[in-house]
Amino acid sequence: MNFQHPFPAVRTAFILCCLVMPSHAGAQEHFNPNGNQASDFTAQLQQQLRAALPFEDERDFAESQQGFIAAPDYRQITAANGRVVWDMTRYDFLLTGDSYDSIHPSLQRQATLNMNYGLYEVVTDFIYQVRGFDLANMTLVKGETGWIIFDVLLTEQTANAALSLANEQLGELPVKAVVYSHSHVDHFGGVRGIVSEADVAAGNVQIIAPQGFMAEAISENVYAGNAMSRRAGLQYGRNIPSSPFGQVDSAIGKGLAAGTTGLIAPTLVIEEDFEEHIIDGITMVFQNTPGTEAPAEMNTWFPEQKVFWAAENITATVHNVYTLRGALVRDALSWSKQINEALYRYGREAEVLVSSHNWPRWGNERIQEVMRAQRDAYANLNNQTLFLANQGVTINEIHNEYVVPESLQQQWNVRQYHGSEFHNARAVLNRYLGYWDGNPATLAPLSPSDSAPLYVEMMGGSASIIAKAEELYATGGYRLAMEILNKLVYAEPSNQEAKNALADVFEQLGYQYESASMRNVFLAAGQELRNGMQTIAAPRGTSPSMARAMTTSQWWDAVATRVDSSLADGNDYVVNFITPDTGQTFVIEMSSGTLSNIEGFLAEDPHATITIDRAELNTVIMGQATLAEQLQNGIGSVEGDASVLLALAAVLTVFNPGFEVLPGTLP
């Protein structure tokens, strides 16, 4: 096999540029059409970081390239209609060896490491990975008769391309089992690109997942799905170009593929804290780790090969305790304890550590070093946030007070590429004490658009604010400038001069942040302030396989989030809802402007009874028809007062996927 890496000079060029190249290196080759170059203050900060960070530690570069077998002769992955769903060429600027003052040097290092693209051997004739085909990696374990695949990427197109590359290079094998390490869609969404539901139903392929997987896989993105999608666009920089002045990385991979997602339900759910199974002749011990990086997640230990699969609990970064796209706050202490459990059970004898993102580590000393650093990072975040909170530091101060210990700052694997000490520290405090800081003035505050005009008036009007902001900008006081310009933009959403000034400030802060998430949010917001929000297409709708996976109760819960209570209040009714093909019954109540449902009951005197097969309801869940349309077309039946369906339809809101985040940015 050919183990020559496709980009052999990347490591040397990057280390040299960080250590010896002058400020603004490479800046002349890249023009930023939407904004500015890095300011002198930003450039000076980046130069100080190049001198202070441990760039002499090159182990990640060697490990990320170890075992390279081959890359395909294409660097874009397309859908059947020719649409590009994945494009590595957009990041070629990272392969030049230039150093960019518009990128935090530590983040540029991580972004360069994430340029790995192709098939890699992790353990000889046993474990392989395809990296750089999506946000996550596909990990292939060779069983006695076929592949056991850990995590199947985000989309069917990228998953199919990854498996095809492995089969082309290693010899074609059937897929015998798929392991979903956890409930985030970038780890299960591509499953239909490598196996069929028919093969799973026939028992030819086993699907293995942690306890709680199905409930969490559906619920996390359903109830607040519209808002989460809008915010994810900011976090991942979906609408900003990839360049030294734009989106450069997503910390645990380059970005999100744009293909088709699906889901096939598990056939084996790991219920116990630790369970041993033999899958296609391979002994595996699954460790459930609920409440860590995902509500449902599990590690896996291969005792015969001394390989520890860390899922997404251990990656090459400190992760999000609170993710900016929006999700339940994660438990940093539990996360730390689960890593410690794995360290003492498996890490002390492991010879290979492999994860669902970034790259593996080899050798027990190195593995223990990484596992201890990750354990300590989450524990310190939890403990020191509480240490400060118990001395009166509030949620509005904690991100300016919490400091990562210097010994952790000098270890690359716990730098703040995905999470950051800023939003993670606030998340920990919020988990224990909530959003209120104890000051009555902040308990029920005015909305920004209501309070901002008074601030602007008291500061002497827009001209005074802009003049002061320009003075602050010129001296590097970007966060102070942001504070006053934000008030002005809320008070005067049509003031383009103010929006441009705030965009300039956001841009410099984005250049300075090590966290890819924070960088993307600031740069994306700056682009929207300057140019207006891009038109955001309506959601693609729920895929057939995701619709089948959603429970009927979950669907009714999602419908309930669309009820406008101000319209529904005072019009109460009760509906019995029956799905004969599944034998389920539900009572649906509209009461006090609120829609609720409960399974397993029937009301004695309902206003209406709706009967429809669950298989036919999937069309409604996918957004291809309304319930009323299905019934009008003779699919299902209604007994009693059918007008309740019209009453329900009249109070449901269709969410706008492109709602305004910053004032004055609607197209």
The domain that holds 568 is classified in CATH as 3.30.1050.10
Mean pLDDT of 319-327: 93
Contact 200, 264 (CB under 8 A): yes
In terms of C-beta density within 10 A (0-12 exposed, 13-18 middle, 19 or more buried), how is residue 33 classed?
Answer: exposed
Model confidence at 292, pLDDT cuts 50, 70, 90, reads very high
Give yes or no: residues 548 and 475 share one domain: no
Give yes or no: residues 245 and 324 share one domain: yes
Q: Quick one: what percent of the chain has pLDDT higher than 70?
A: 94
Task: Provide the domain count of the chain.
Answer: 3
Instruction: Quote the domain boundaries for residue 470.
Output: 446-531
Residue 9's pLDDT is: 43
Give yes or no: residues 486 and 348 share one domain: no
Give yes or no: residues 65 and 144 share one domain: yes
206 within some domain: yes
Both tokens of residue 62? 């060697």
Give yes or no: residues 355 and 278 share one domain: yes
Give Cβ neighbours of residue 587 (< 8 Å, ≥ 6 apart): 574, 575, 576, 577, 597, 598, 601, 602, 603, 606
Pairing of strands 175-179, 206-210: parallel
pLDDT exceeds cutoff 90 at 266? yes
Per-residue model confidence as pLDDT tens digits over 498-539: 999 999 999 999 999 999 999 999 999 999 999 998 876 655
Give yes or no: residues 30 and 151 share one domain: yes
Give yes or no: residues 300 and 361 share one domain: yes
What is the rounded CA–CA span in Å between residue 218 and residue 550? 6
Q: Which residues pair with 278 in a beta bridge?
A: 283
Give yes or no: residues 551 and 522 share one domain: no
Residue 546's pLDDT is: 84
Give yes or no: residues 71 and 22 share one domain: yes
Q: Which residue has the tokens 């959601």?
A: 539
pLDDT exceeds cutoff 90 at 548? no
Residue 220's pLDDT is: 80
What is the rounded CA–CA span in Å between residue 551 and residue 529? 40
What is the rounded CA–CA span in Å between residue 292 and residue 281? 29
φ, ψ (nearest 5 deg) of residue 227? -65, -40
Average pLDDT of the chain, as a whole number: 93
The domain that holds 514 is classified in CATH as 1.25.40.880
Least confident of 6-20, 84-98, 256-270: 6-20
Pairing of strands 268-270, 274-279: unpaired
Give yes or no: residues 484 and 356 share one domain: no
Among 476, 475, 472, residue whose Cα is nearest residue 488: 472
Give yes or no: residues 85 and 178 share one domain: yes
> Model-level pTM?
0.93
Q: Which residue has the tokens 């000098």?
A: 410
409 within some domain: no
Model confidence at 30, pLDDT cuts 50, 70, 90, reads low
Give yes or no: residues 211 and 77 share one domain: yes
Per-residue model confidence as pLDDT tens digits over 561-577: 999 999 999 999 999 99
413 within some domain: no
Mean pLDDT of 83-92: 97
Contact 404, 421 (CB under 8 A): yes
Per-residue model confidence as pLDDT tens digits over 370-381: 999 999 999 999
Cα four-point dihedral sign 523, 525, 531, 534? positive
